[in-house]
Amino acid sequence: MTAATTPLHYLSLADAAAALAARRISSAELTEAVIARAEAVEPRLRAFLSADPASARAQAQASDARRAAGGGLGPLDGIPIGLKDVIAVRDQPLTAGSRMLEKFVSPYDATVTGRLRDAGAVLYGRHNCDEFAMGSSTENSAFHPTGNPWALDRVPGGSSGGSAAALAAGEALATLGSDTGGSIRQPAALCGVVGLKPTYGRVSRYGLVAYASSLDQIGPFGRTVEDVALVLQAIAGHDERDSTSVGAPAEEFAAALAAPSVPRRLGLPREYFGEGLDPEVAAAVEQAVSHYRELGCEVREVSLPHTAYCLDTYYVLATAEASSNLARYDGIRYGHRCAEPRDLHDLYFRSRAEGFGAEVKRRIILGTYVLSSGYYDAYYLKAQKVRTLVRRDFLRAFAQVDALLTPTSPIPAFQRGEKADPLAMYLCDIYTIGANLAGLPAMSVPCGFTRAGLPVGFQLIGKPLGESELLAIGHAYDRVHQWGRRHPNL
């Protein structure tokens, strides 16, 4: 299917941008197609928590007026883009998938939201997610689960499952999610789209509802690697309102894709190809490896010896930070407040008990425990030391190779309710957590389907601030195979 015959709601961002620039379509037409698509599939998919079609139409009309006056703002001008409901959008609901914030309306824009506005994007829709981004299936949302567009009885991954599902289903041309332990990459793999977690600090976290502040990072979903590069180009950059924002110089990420390609060195971590990896996932990833070999890339086995400790380390550090971050939801300043509290203790206790779901409570309790007196050194401090060892493993590997290639998820999309045991759910992120602990850029690229028609993705992990090279490596595969341009039959 060519760009000329592809339905508007399934265009890649790059193709849509070219059509808008050539005046073959208008932003109003493109936005109307996306709204109509959402209205058609949402009763079954349920990727949205809220939407404002009137605002989207007004933004699209403003974009068309700019272009008519010769003042187009660039490739994102007039493109409908959705945001995970943990990213602040002025005058729009900001629930984080939780009853705690069910009635909260954001009074300001996140930095990434403002940068998308500056680029002329049409902001449409707040996407469903696991509550406070805590989950791997979008089943932990307090409002409703989201289906996988390729099989509605299966999960889309999480916690950014709504953003990945909406894109795959044609309800947006690109979306934003957040990634604390794999929450962009894992749903991207399960929904058959591209998802990038940038280097920690590359994209501002100002206006992101915090889960684990030393791990959280906002990043884009797209149908192609090129689409992801275009969105990253708009949202990346230093922000003085985020103390963890890095001062890296601006880069033309999309232009880097067109640079002459040279053979690169790719590392296959032996720890990522062992027990627990689904055979069909392994086969699809191996085919991607074969493609890189055919391109002349050197592929060698490397070792990340502390991989076995990543999951334990993550669930100590992430829950500790969650315990601290979520203490602000006390029923006093904002958020859910219980009815007729007897005293301050009752207000605090019942407001939090009623406002938070089971998984969030589980992580708060675990985090409070590992930070408590007598256990801090045994758990939290030790986990920080292991985190340093994990980062050293990656840096040693990068002395031998330019990027690492791994499966994104050990399994394809699973049935809703299948992972009722929390540990079984946590294991879904076994291949993605390491990049968060080390603060590295990582991207999931679609690489095929199982016999049951479920998408599979492989993961590329790059050097710190190495997004340009990472995108170029991913593009070398994606421009040939273009699995992300295939569409589910909804």
Catalytic residues: 84, 159, 183
The CA distance from 267 to 275, in Å, is 19
Element (H, E) at 117: helix 111-118
In the block, tokens 């993961």 appear at 459
- Cα 158 vs. chain centroid, distance in angstroms? 8
Measure the CA–CA gap between 297 and 309, rounded to whole angstroms. 30
Nearest of 386, 408, 404 to residue 396 by alpha carbon: 404
Buried b (16+ CB within 10 A) or exposed e, 444-453: bbbbbbbeee
Q: What tokens were used for 352?
A: 């939090």
Max intra-chain CA distance, the chain: 71
Q: Are 202 and 112 in contact (CB under 8 A)?
A: no
Kind and range of the H or E element at 403? strand 403-407
| Bridging pattern class, strands 403-407 and 298-302 | unpaired
Residue written as tokens 């601290």?
A: 324
Q: Which pair of tokens denotes residue 212? A: 């684990």
Q: How many CB atoms lie within 10 A of CB 5?
A: 6
Q: How far apart are CA 425 and CA 65, in angstroms?
A: 48
